[in-house]
């Protein structure tokens, strides 16, 4: 599979951090994503969220970006993992604390299933920390059962645990 692709692909990525300077990690990741993007990187608002899964850790800052890339999914995933590593990401505890977490949520309108990558992201439809910022950028996008991202995000917002903290881009 080629790393670059002559075609442009619209991707939605989630960004999260709960270790060290969370804002600095997100801003640094955004700088890296701007270098990878073909055109603008459009950002959601930033939300502070409680951890999911492994609960004995600090709260996260989460956001979603939309951008265009000239990369296929697996090379894109490799590039995102390299960014995470540059920011000190260590993968020790599943759903554990991390300096930076970058996930591919959507890649065009494709359904992709590799051993190491599934798109749409398999857990995105049940995670308020993904759906609420995604609704900032794509409120009318339809998910499972035909519900819009905005409808799903609004339902999750009622449960609490996600607090709007503003914009960083």
Active site residues: 89, 98, 101, 103
Please spell the DSSP secondary structure of the chain, one letter per residue: --SEEEEEEEEEEEEEE-SSSHHHHHHHHHHHHHHH-SS--EE--EEEE--SSS-SSPPEEEEEEEEEEEE-HHHHHHHHHHHHHHTT----STT---S-EEEEEEETT--EE-SS-EES-TTGGG-HHHHHHHHHH-TT-B-GGG-BHHHHHHHHHTT--EEEEE---
Euclidean distance between CA atoms 48 and 61, whole angstroms: 5
Euclidean distance between CA atoms 41 and 122, whole angstroms: 23
């Amino acid at each position: 599979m080629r790393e670059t692709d002559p075609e442009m692909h619209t991707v939605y990525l989630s960004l999260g951090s709960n270790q060290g300077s969370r804002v600095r990690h997100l801003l640094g990741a955004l700088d890296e994503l701007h270098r990878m993007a073909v055109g603008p990187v459009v950002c959601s608002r930033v939300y502070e969220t409680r951890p999911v899964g492994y609960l004995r850790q600090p709260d996260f800052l989460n956001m979603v970006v939309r951008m265009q890339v000239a990369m296929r999914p697996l090379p894109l995933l490799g590039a995102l993992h390299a960014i995470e590593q540059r920011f000190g990401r260590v993968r020790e505890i599943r759903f554990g604390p991390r300096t930076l977490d970058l996930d591919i949520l959507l890649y065009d309108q494709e359904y992709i299933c590799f051993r190491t990558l599934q798109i749409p992201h398999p857990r995105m439809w049940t995670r308020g920390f993904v759906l609420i910022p995604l609704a900032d950028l794509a409120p009318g996008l339809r998910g499972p059962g035909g519900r819009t991202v905005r409808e799903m995000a609004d339902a999750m917002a009622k449960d609490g645990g996600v607090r709007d903290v503003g914009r960083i881009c």
